[in-house]
Amino acid sequence: MVLDEPKENDTVFDVKGFEFIADNDFLEKAQPIIIDHKGMGFSISSNIDFGSGGGACGCGSSCSTD
């Protein structure tokens, strides 16, 4: 997860006042995507297996892929 501005090939979701942007090609491969607040960070799970690369989801140590 990173801060970004919507682009032409993106879908924008508003969830309880938070705006999430996903590239349409990625969204097609990753659905369903679940983002859950975990105290000091977020847990992200999707249909994509990121393996045990640690931080492979691009958000550093504050996210997991479980």
pLDDT tens digit sequence for 10-58: 999 998 888 999 999 999 999 998 888 888 888 888 998 867 654 444 4
The reply to whether the predicted model has a pTM over 0.85 is no
**Does residue 30 lie within any of the structural domains?**
yes
**Region at 30 (left for phi over 0; alpha for psi -120 to 50; beta for the rest):** alpha
**Does residue 54 lie within any of the structural domains?**
yes
**Does residue 4 lie within any of the structural domains?**
no
Residue with tokens 């996210």: 63
- Report which of 52, 22, 46, 20 is spatially closest to residue 34, judged by C-alpha positions: 46
| Tally of domains within the chain | 1
Q: Would you tell me how many other CB atoms lie within 10 Å of the CB of residue 48? A: 15
Domain that holds residue 28: 10-62
